[in-house]
């Protein structure tokens, strides 16, 4: 059986896993994200030990970004303009290639997770869909017409601009680039700062924070529907662990679109259209394994 290495490279932690072509994760560890040197040394040590026992076939890296996902670019596989100290213009994929000399797949963390959902989760059989995460940041990846979403660079769907009623919500937003873009208003850290709590986890299900959050995420979903015409939108991330939230978004999306996108998937069956990840918390790591498997097939 071919064994694949999948690395979910996040701004706070790296999850390194080993899995197979069925999407089964055999083992995994979590490494805190410190300096690139220290973090990557630990990543390489983990896989070195595994590679001694059972030979790895390929690596997949789904990374926080922005990244360069263009294989024809000289900086392919780099983390590029991140404000995260030490990681700007870091050649993350090259570091893995140098250490293991195996086929490698690379994409954004959210495109990776989308690929995982496509192969083994809630997006099986679809060709146009999105995977959105609402956590420390907001990001989305996915496919259009069967191809992973890339372009000039890659989508940055967290940084769209949505209506912000400053009387109702005077909070200025936390995005260092835009202030009150969607990410500035609706990401986990914005909830924490607006309501003065230690974690969004501390806000009970009936707190008004969740109605406001649902109204922002409904704008997001409505905009994505209008732009891409996805067959499904999968929404995960730490903030969505608030179980009351998803059900609050559904009717708001329908209300915003007002019957204009005249398809039963939205007008009648929105609970099956805007859904939680089929792979639950494993979408990211399974996605990285899926990137490795794809790289192995394409080698
Ligand atoms: P990351 O985006 O860094 O990968 P997560 O997707 O886990 O991390 O999101 C982290 C965010 O989710 C934090 O801002 C935290 O406050 C929020 N969060 C974590 N658990 C919950 C919960 N049960 N309910 C609501 N928000 C939560
Ligand atoms: Zn922004």
10 lines ligand 1 (CB under 6 A): yes
Domain of residue 290, CATH code: 3.30.420.40
Tell me, what's the pLDDT at 94? 98
In a domain, 196, yes or no: yes
Question: Which ligand number lies closest to the CA of residue 83?
Answer: 2
Q: Which ligand is nearest to the CA of 161?
A: 2
- Considering the domain architecture, whether residues 95 and 188 belong to the same structural domain is answered as no
43 is a domain residue: yes
Same structural domain for residues 80 and 177? no
138 C-alpha to center of ligand 2: Å?
9
Ligand 1 in reach of 188 Cβ (< 6 A): yes
pTM of structure: 0.96
Closest ligand 1 atom to residue 135 Cα is 9
* Residue 183 counted as domain residue: yes
Q: What percent of the chain has pLDDT over 90?
A: 98
My answer on whether 102 and 131 are in the same domain is no
221 lies in the same domain as 142: yes
Looking at the structure, do residues 149 and 216 belong to the same domain, yes or no?
yes
Residues 159 and 235 in one domain: yes
Atom in ligand 1 nearest the alpha carbon of residue 136: 2
Does residue 264 register a pLDDT over 90? Answer: yes
Looking at residue 229, its pLDDT comes to: 98
| Mean pLDDT calculated for residue range 251-257 | 98
**What digits encode the pLDDT tens for the residues 175-187?**
999 999 999 999 9
Q: Is 117 a member of any domain?
A: no
Whether 152 is in a domain gets the answer yes
The verdict on 44 and 158 lying in the same domain is no
| Position 135 in a domain | yes
The pLDDT of residue 56 is: 97
Residue 115 resides in a domain: no
Same domain, yes or no: 95 and 167: no
* pLDDT higher than threshold 90 for residue 174: yes
**Confidence at residue 290, expressed as pLDDT on a 0 to 100 scale:** 97
Compute, in angstroms, the gap from residue 142 CA to the centroid of ligand 2.
20
Nearest residue by C-alpha to atom 26 in ligand 1: 239
Q: What percent of the chain has a predicted confidence (pLDDT) above 70?
A: 100
Answer yes or no: is pLDDT of 221 > 90: yes
Distance CA 250, CA 245 (A): 9
pLDDT at 205: 96
Q: Is the pLDDT score of 83 beyond 90?
A: no
User: Contact, 293 vs 127, CB < 8 A?
Assistant: no
Overall average pLDDT of the 179-203 stretch: 97
Mutate to test the pocket of ligand 1, among 188, 206, 276 (most ligand atoms within 8 A of CB): 188
Please report whether residue 116 resides in a domain: no
33 and 99 assigned to the same domain: yes
220 and 290, same domain (yes or no): no
pLDDT above 90: residue 33: yes
* 45-71: pLDDT as tens digits: 999 999 999 899 999 999 998 999 999
Structure confidence by residue, pLDDT tens digits, 101-121: 999 999 999 999 999 999 999
pLDDT for 135 equals 95
Are residues 133 and 72 located together in one domain of the fold?
A: no
Average the pLDDT over 205-228 and give the result: 98
Residue 43 reports pLDDT greater than 90 = yes
The more confident residue out of 148 and 83 is 148
Query: Ligand 1: which residue has its CA nearest to atom 27?
Result: 239
Count of structural domains, the chain: 2
Q: How crowded is the C-beta side of 126, counted as CA atoms within 13 Å?
A: 25
For 264, the domain range is 122-276
pLDDT value of position 117: 98
Task: Give yes or no: residues 246 and 127 share one domain.
Answer: yes
Where does the pLDDT of residue 297 fall: very low under 50, low under 70, confident under 90, or very high at 90 and above?
very high
How far away, in angstroms, is 176 Cα from ligand 2 center? 7
């Amino acid at each position: 059986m071919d064994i694949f290495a999948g690395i979910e490279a996040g701004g706070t932690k790296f999850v390194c896993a080993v899995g197979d072509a069925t999407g089964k994760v055999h083992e995994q560890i979590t490494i805190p994200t410190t300096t690139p040197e220290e973090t990557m040394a630990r990543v390489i040590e983990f896989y070195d030990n595994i590679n001694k026992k059972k030979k790895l076939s390929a690596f997949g890296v789904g990374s926080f970004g922005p990244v360069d996902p263009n294989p024809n670019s000289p900086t392919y596989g780099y983390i590029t303009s991140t404000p995260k100290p030490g990681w700007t213009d870091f050649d993350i994929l090259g570091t893995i290639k140098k250490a293991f000399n195996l086929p490698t797949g690379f994409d954004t963390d959210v495109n990776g997770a989308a690929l995982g959902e496509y192969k083994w989760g809630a997006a099986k059989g679809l060709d146009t869909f999105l995977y959105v995460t609402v956590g420390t940041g907001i990001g989305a990846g996915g496919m259009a017409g069967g191809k992973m979403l890339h372009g000039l660079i890659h989508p940055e769907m967290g940084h769209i601009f949505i209506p912000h009623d400053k009387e109702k919500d005077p909070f200025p937003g936390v995005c260092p680039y835009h202030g009150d873009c969607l990410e500035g208003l609706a990401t986990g850290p914005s909830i924490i700062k607006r309501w003065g709590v230690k974690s969004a986890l501390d806000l009970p299900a009936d707190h008004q924070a969740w109605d406001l959050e649902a109204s922002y995420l409904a704008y997001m979903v409505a905009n994505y529907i209008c732009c891409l015409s996805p067959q499904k939108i999968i929404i995960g991330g730490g903030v969505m662990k608030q179980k009351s939230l998803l059900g609050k978004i559904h009717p708001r999306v329908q209300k915003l679109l007002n019957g204009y996108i005249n398809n039963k998937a939205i007008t009648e069956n929105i609970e099956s259209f805007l859904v939680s990840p089929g792979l639950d918390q494993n979408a990211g790591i399974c996605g990285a394994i899926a990137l490795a498997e794809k790289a192995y097939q394409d080698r």
